[in-house]
Copies of this chain bind each other. A is one copy, B any other.
Amino acid sequence: MKVSEIGEFGLIARITSVINKSSAKNSTARRNLLLGIGDDAAAWKTTNSIQLATTDILVEDIHFYLGYTNWRDLGWKALAVNISDIASMGGIPEYALVSLSLPGFIEVADILSLYKGMLQIANEHGIAICGGNISSADKIIINITLTGKASGKKLLKRSTAKPGDLISVTGYPGLSDGGLRVLKTKLQVEPEDRETLIGAHLRPTPKVREGITLVTQGAKTAIDTSDGLLADLAHVCEASRVSAILYESSLPIHPLLKKYFGAESIQMALSGGEDYELLFTATPELMDKVKGNLGCLTTVIGEIIAGSPGVVSVCSTTGKTIRLDHKGWDHYKPPS
């Protein structure tokens, strides 16, 4: 059955039913929700706190390709990238609004799968999907806005890195890029390796718990790695008016990146996007304290230094320092 056969309101009714059926009922966000889908705006109760909000748009054939992803994974990822933005502030995600633009020939079952993917990760984080809208379009456009709140009175920001801070990253940068290359090039990889690589690209795990731990223990500076390690570090350095140096020899390179991409894996770890890991800075003393408390692989990869705002240099394994001016993924100027 196609979307055009049941129309906008038929589709909304089915989506609402899936949300009501599959939403975890016991989260704080759900308990405070006063009005979900079905009125002009969603409404929820809030107390004295710091509210957070982020928004991300995914456009078919620009941000995703239906040839590479199934609908459920697409739903997961569309919400995951927003959760990651809240995580990088040290916040707790709460309410999601989903704007969907779709051609009429899309299958209703596919849209319900999309929502099931969103609901799966929403339930893991206690998020209530409480609103949105549907319209027609030539291509699929998914825009999610996610609100949240600070876990206490502080936030992790981009603008607070100081010379002398160490720089750490969670997980394995570049792993998502590895998955994308497997999807794009039909590279021959063993089945379980394929699952790890593609999984990193299609179903990233936002680091909410880790963000809360960081801000609770006194860290001030973080960003999530969506544009790539170098690019995201450059964003932090620009906002903080500092420079940074990364040590190539310290980069955590996933064994599968080495196995399938060899020497190229270094470049993938530095520039590959969409990992949705946390990149953060802290004084050496604080870094020593928090690193072990995050409960996930965390690697010190460099340090913040005084210098031109936004400049990131990489010290290679041969000791040669390369100053990079790459400012990050730009939709209108993709890196060559």
Contact = CB atoms under 8 A, between A and B. Distances in A.
Given A9-B327, A332-B104, A59 B155 contact: no
Nearest to A141: B141
Interface in A32-62: 34-35, 38-57, 59, 62
A275 to B, nearest CB: 14
Nearest to A54: B41
Given A239-B38, A331-B136, A52 B43 contact: yes
Interface string A289-306: 000000000000000000
| Stoichiometry (number of copies) | 2
A249 interface: no
Contacts of A35: 155, 157
A52 B150 CA distance: 18
A320 interface: no
A184 interface: no
A40 B145 contact: no
B62 A136 contact: yes
Given A8-B332, A55-B143, A56-B99, A40 B135 contact: no
B158 A40 contact: yes
Given A38-B239, A39-B159, A134-B331, A44 B55 contact: no
Given A9-B330, A332-B4, A45 B41 contact: no
A186 B137 CA distance: 26
A147 interface: yes
B43 A132 contact: no
Contacts of A113: none
Nearest to A334: B136
24 contacts: A9-B327, A11-B332, A34-B50, A35-B155, A39-B89, A39-B157, A40-B54, A40-B85, A41-B53, A46-B46, A46-B49, A53-B147, A54-B131, A55-B97, A55-B98, A55-B133, A56-B99, A56-B133, A57-B99, A57-B135, A57-B141, A62-B136, A134-B331, A141-B141
Given A4-B333, A6-B332, A46-B51, 14 more contacts: A7-B331, A34-B155, A35-B157, A39-B158, A41-B52, A41-B88, A41-B91, A45-B51, A48-B48, A56-B99, A56-B133, A57-B135, A59-B135, A147-B147
Interface of A: 3-4, 6-9, 11, 34-35, 38-57, 59, 62-63, 84-86, 88-89, 91, 95, 97-99, 101, 104, 130-139, 141, 143, 145, 147-148, 150, 155, 157-159, 223-224, 239, 327-328, 330-333
